[in-house]
Structure 1
Amino acid sequence: MILLRSFVFNVGFFVGTLFLMIVFLPALIVGRRALPWCGRVWARMLRWWLAVGIGVRIEIRGEVPSGPCLIAAKHQSAWETIEFFRLLPDACFVLKRELVWIPMLGWYIARNRQIVINRSAGASALKRMLAEVELALAAGRQIVVFPQGTRVAPDVKRPYQSGIGFLSNHLDVRVIPVALNSGVVWGRNKFVKCPGTIVLEFLKPMPEGLGSRVFIEELSTRIELASQRLAVEGRQSIRRPRKGGVM
């Protein structure tokens, strides 16, 4: 039963996303102001479809920030990328360049002025990222950074990259860690989605005045410990099939 529900969910999510991208095409012409609203509609569609199609519950903890800030978030699935459009007034992501090459999605990324980096460019990429982040913060946007650089499964260790430390050293702005357990329910590149509870938790802002190395160590400790705790909760929330395979 869970395989069938996952199949229906995956097809519905793909079709629904494609439909919204087509419907929202006029927003690309009107201007960027309409795009945060489009993102919220997309996120609400996903929330509803996860609940109806899979039986996933979503819980948001902590204080959702407003105004300019850096969000340093754990990244385990596609879910949190979309959910941040619903949670934040004007989310701006630091993204890898390859995403711009995806048909239609790339148009929205460019028009919504997301920050696209070429990870192979080294120091020049960091300088360009800093300049674009400063512009976005000046516009009052919330910058979402995934410090590990990619989706990482729960309980898998992967180092935190230097970019977030570089930004914290050069910017006078709040840095808010985010822990989550979405990978327990919706794993990276996993066909099956599990009926459980996804929790996303905004943690306390990072202390000011830390050096880059100490900052990254403290950030990773906070996010990893909280995410491990949430992973335990997530596994306990998953409803297992009864004998006979019926949910």
Structure 2
Amino acid sequence: MAVVRSVLFNVVAFVLTGVMGVGALPIRWFMPAQALPYAKLWSRLVLWLFRTICGVRVSVSGLEHLPSSGAALIASQHQSAFDTLVWMLLLPRPCYVMKGELTRIPLLGPMLVLTGMMPVERAAGARALRLLLQGTDKAVADQRQIIIFPEGTRTMPGEHVALKPGIAAMSNHTGLPVIPVATNSGQFWGRNAFVKRSGVLHVCIGPAIGPAKRAVLLDEIEKSWRTLEEHAGL
């Protein structure tokens, strides 16, 4: 059954993305201010398909820790493509820190730029950090909620990797605290996994921490993730 559901979800989501990708062209040309609402609609539809077809129930805890408006820094675990969509539904003005190469994908790339996402060329070394902080300043001035995945890549459930220092630099540069988020999304929409699993997917949002020195803040993010995982039984 999981295979059948996964085939149906992947086919329908692919068609939806293609149709909405073409439908985005008039928005890019004539209504750029509608780019973010349009992206939110696409995310909402894809996640509705994921929940409905694949039999996944999404449980979000700690919503009281999220801002209703204004700039914020969110450090989320990253196990799944789900993590790159859900914040479109949970935040008023989300801004993802993402790989620069995504902006070069036909149809999708120009929309990512237009919606105000923050592309980072990770191979650029020290220049990448300068560009990250410049993008952070712009997002904060625009009252955006910035989502960053400090692990740097998608990981397996239970896998621990060294965190990238960018989140600490962003927090210390702006003076904003960091809101930690743990998830078990990889159990249901795994990295490079065709089959999607049913069950209860948790998104656990913790209280803000920092700013603090880089090593201290990264350690606090790790500890917060472990605490959130334990409380949710992940």
Q: Is 1:125 aligned to 2:128, yes or no? A: yes
Within 5 Å, give how 1:53-202 maps onto structure 2.
53-62=53-62, 63=64, 64-65=66-67, 66-202=69-205
Aligned positions, number: 231
Equivalent position amino acid for 2:25 in 1: L
CA contact (8 A) 1:39 1:82 kept: no
CA distance in 1, matches of 2:74, 2:209: 10
Q: Give the share of equivalent positions with the same residue, in percent.
A: 36
Within 5 Å, give how 1:6-21 maps onto structure 2.
6-21=6-21
| Bigger mean CA offset, 61-70 vs 179-188 | 61-70
CA distance in 1, matches of 2:15, 2:140: 34
TM-score by length of 1: 0.88
CA contact (8 A) 1:177 1:204 kept: yes
CA contact (8 A) 1:69 1:174 kept: yes
Q: Tell me, what secondary structure is at the counterpart of 2:85?
A: helix
CA distance in 2, matches of 1:158, 1:228: 18
Alignment partner for residue 214 of structure 2, among 212, 226, 245? 212
TM-score by length of 2: 0.93
| Bigger mean CA offset, 61-70 vs 127-136 | 61-70
Q: Which has the larger radius of gyration?
A: 1
CA contact (8 A) 1:39 1:86 kept: no
Shift in Å, 1:225:
3.9
Equivalent position amino acid for 1:52 in 2: T
- Runs in 1 of length 4+ with deviation above 3 angstroms? 227-230
CA distance in 2, matches of 1:122, 1:228: 36
Q: Tell me, what secondary structure is at the counterpart of 1:159?
A: coil
CA distance in 2, matches of 1:106, 1:228: 37
Unaligned runs of 5+ in 1: 234-247
Q: Tell me, what secondary structure is at the counterpart of 2:86?
A: helix
CA distance in 2, matches of 1:48, 1:95: 23
Q: Tell me, what secondary structure is at the counterpart of 1:157?
A: coil
Shift in Å, 1:229:
5.4
Equivalent position amino acid for 2:136 in 1: V
Equivalent position amino acid for 1:221 in 2: K
Equivalent position amino acid for 1:80 in 2: D
CA distances 1:105-125 after superposition (whole Å, capped 9, x unpaired): 111112122211111111111
How large is the RMSD of aligned CA atoms in angstroms? 1.6
Equivalent position amino acid for 1:207 in 2: G
CA distance in 2, matches of 1:182, 1:229: 16
CA distances 1:78-124 after superposition (whole Å, capped 9, x unpaired): 01211111111111111111211221111111212221111111111
Partner of 2:30: 30
Unaligned runs of 5+ in 2: none
Partner of 1:40: 40
Shift in Å, 1:206:
0.6
Q: Are the structure 2 counterparts of residues 91 and 113 from structure 1 closer, same or farther at C-alpha, using a change threshold of 3 Å?
A: same
